[in-house]
Chains A and B, each alone.
Chain A
């Protein structure tokens, strides 16, 4: 089964596939971000492989790691073929400055909220998304919490002995 999927993507998009990875037996293809829509569309329309299910999409921030040299953000698209019970991943790296990617909402309506979540928590823009707004964090929160440079903070609770002091932020 893996051979079939590899053959399909290599035949049609040989140039867009940068490398392949099968860490722990999971098939993933590192692709060029520009080719994402075309590859997804080709998979979606292929009647042989029947990749109809976008299981998940998410991002990883590689700030401060050696993998950052390929691009700070790694996007992971988790695609699944219900007929063949086969899961594979499309991965791509995006630069730290103004990360941008085409939206998949036209292909899968289910991508809508997943993309909004990645936008909210990582600040990655999805071009062509119908309603790219914050979804999980409060409207007045600045920044994108799942970026590695967003500190994990909490405020010192206010007791009677420190009620007059301004709340201390602990990082």
Chain B
């Protein structure tokens, strides 16, 4: 019998540092990782299949449940794709409000990442601080959509309701709080020796490899590729905002940490600009037969009521053809490929999940490294298993 040199170790799917139900089969030679095989699919609920059987309006609620840490980004991506398919222009105010909400979502998602990633690496108190600040963003969500997580606030053709009356005040409070919070986080982590030792030169990926592995978002920019869809292919009026793309140099976990902090600061800048310049106007586009008429009209106007009834019961018919709309979600390029087939239900809704594609590079990140760095690598990819498995 040949001498066995490696040990196979099963990590997950219930391991707390896998951020959900990720399983990684590790082949270890002592403390070194020889081979890593991620196993996903434990949370597969067939969301794409479900969306095919729903009306375009109904399918929207499925999007919240994929990346549940960034529901508004998913809503935005889906709505933009359907609007492209139906050729709808939304009012300027809607665009600005969506940008504001999407950036709040980015901060919210990054805060959860920061808290959980530092808990993985032993900084236990970070989670309490980040969740304190996240809570204030959730308050804004609750004021807008009535729910804390699964908001479905961004709808096809506009928003679900008018923005709440104290939206401006609430969001400015968030901006102030997160601004102060970011100083705390940097004081706690950026020069923290333990944190630096755990993340510097860990899970390194070069720019060429990052592109070849189709990585996107912080994983791509962390390696020094200056690519951000908000700048490269602006959507929802991002071209009106003044912000910078944050990027790293080495492509290690520490760079990605710095980059996400910088991104949060840029998001705060965008939010402030959106609040300052928020135009007046309707909160929903006026496209009879496709976009729901405003609720006030439904109560008092006959035609609006008929359209409302028709859209809710029958939906609208989309033309035959595929459109793809990608947005820069907190985790990377979130794309929606929606295919209409002439009926009132989509033929196919394909979600290009950033977490799934980024996670595929995990073996490349950890093989040859130390066993304890696997935790750091998984954390720094920033995955949400709800989106990986869908």
A61 and B348 contacting across the interface, CB-CB below 8 Å: yes
A52 and B41 contacting across the interface, CB-CB below 8 Å: no
B378 within 8 A of A: no
A169 within 8 A of B: no
For residue A112, which residues in chain B have a CB less than 8 angstroms away from its CB?
360
B348 and A60 contacting across the interface, CB-CB below 8 Å: yes
B206 within 8 A of A: no
Chain A, range 106-151, C-beta contacts under 8 Å to B: 108-114, 117, 121, 134-138, 145-146, 150
B49 within 8 A of A: yes
A113 and B350 contacting across the interface, CB-CB below 8 Å: no
Looking at chain B's contact residues, the main secondary structure is mixed
Chain A, range 45-64, C-beta contacts under 8 Å to B: 52-56, 58, 60-62
For residue A135, which residues in chain B have a CB less than 8 angstroms away from its CB?
40-41
Q: Which of A55, A65, A109, A145 contacts B335 (CB 8 A)?
A: A55
Q: How many B residues are at the interface, by size bracket?
A: 35 or more
> Given A56-B337, A110-B361, A146-B48: A136 and B323 within 8 A (CB)?
no
Chain B, range 29-78, C-beta contacts under 8 Å to A: 40-41, 44, 46, 48-50, 53
B213 within 8 A of A: yes
Instruction: Kindly report which residue of chain A lies nearest to residue B225, judged by CB atoms.
Output: A82
- The contact string, 1 if C-beta is below 8 Å from chain B, for chain A 50-90, is 00111110101110010100000000101000100101010
> Given A24-B84, A24-B323: A85 and B232 within 8 A (CB)?
yes
> Given A52-B212, A109-B212: A23 and B40 within 8 A (CB)?
no
Q: How many A residues are at the interface, by size bracket?
A: 35 or more
For residue A54, which residues in chain B have a CB less than 8 angstroms away from its CB?
214
Instruction: Kindly report which residue of chain B lies nearest to residue A89, judged by CB atoms.
Output: B324
For residue B359, which residues in chain A have a CB less than 8 angstroms away from its CB?
113
Docked complex Cα distance between A61 and B348 (Å): 8
B3 within 8 A of A: no
B215 within 8 A of A: yes
A110 and B213 contacting across the interface, CB-CB below 8 Å: yes
Docked complex Cα distance between A62 and B213 (Å): 30
A76 and B337 contacting across the interface, CB-CB below 8 Å: yes
A20 within 8 A of B: no
For residue A53, which residues in chain B have a CB less than 8 angstroms away from its CB?
211, 214
B322 within 8 A of A: yes
A145 and B46 contacting across the interface, CB-CB below 8 Å: yes
B232 and A24 contacting across the interface, CB-CB below 8 Å: no
A98 within 8 A of B: no
For residue A21, which residues in chain B have a CB less than 8 angstroms away from its CB?
321
For residue B211, which residues in chain A have a CB less than 8 angstroms away from its CB?
52-53, 82
For residue A150, which residues in chain B have a CB less than 8 angstroms away from its CB?
49
Docked complex Cα distance between A3 and B352 (Å): 27
Chain A residues near B (Cβ < 8 Å): 21, 23-24, 26, 28, 52-56, 58, 60-62, 65, 67, 76, 78, 82, 85, 87, 89, 108-114, 117, 121, 134-138, 145-146, 150, 152
Chain B residues near A (Cβ < 8 Å): 40-41, 44, 46, 48-50, 53, 84-85, 87, 211-216, 225, 227, 232-233, 320-324, 326, 333, 335, 337, 339, 341, 347-348, 350, 352, 356-357, 359-361, 364, 389-390
8 new A-B pairs (CB below 8 Å) besides A85-B232, A136-B390?
A55-B352, A56-B357, A58-B352, A60-B339, A67-B341, A137-B41, A145-B49, A152-B50
Offer 16 A-B interface pairs, CB within 8 angstroms, sorted by A: A24-B84, A52-B211, A58-B352, A60-B348, A62-B341, A67-B341, A82-B227, A82-B232, A87-B326, A110-B212, A110-B213, A110-B360, A113-B360, A121-B48, A134-B41, A145-B46
